Amino acid sequence: MIKEVKLISLPKIEDPRGNLTFFEDNNQIPFKTERVFWTYDVPGGQTRGGHAYYKQNELIIALSGSFDVVITKPDGESKIYSLNRSYYGLYIPARTWRHLENFSTNALSLHASDSQFSESDYVRDFDEYVGLYEK
């Protein structure tokens, strides 16, 4: 399993009728997909996310439009990944704080994860997240 955030190039099959991109478990992404969800119609200026997971690993893809994924380390240092091509996915391992912002009009983000939804897997308080690394 990859232990750090990584931009993954997904296959891009070019065709004059339109391109096709896909991902398969354990080939393009380093986990078996258990859940897929997407966000859309995000109003201007809004953010999504603002949490980490204890155990869940995730891949985020901009299927349409663009948005930024901001990864914040426990020391407060942040790195921005701008997603705007559907043949790139951002792999985010467990215990990584993230939020999404700067959504373009009609942006559509696809999220694939290796776990079914469990509220108990969410770390929603940044101070609690920092505490995971102070132990």
Residue 70: in which H helix or E strand, if any?
strand 67-72
Cα(80)–Cα(41) distance, integer angstroms: 21
Cα(99)–Cα(112) distance, integer angstroms: 16
Question: Over its length of 135 residues, how does the chain's per-residue pLDDT go in tens digits?
Answer: 568 999 999 999 999 999 999 999 888 999 999 999 999 999 989 999 999 999 999 999 999 999 999 999 999 999 999 999 999 999 999 999 999 999 999 999 999 999 999 999 999 999 999 998 876
The structural domains of the chain, with segments of one domain joined by +, span 6-134
State the CATH class of domain 6-134.
mainly beta
Q: What is the pTM of this model?
A: 0.94
Question: If we measure between CA atoms, which residue out of 110, 100, 113, 102 comes closest to residue 38?
Answer: 110
End-to-end CA gap in the chain: 22
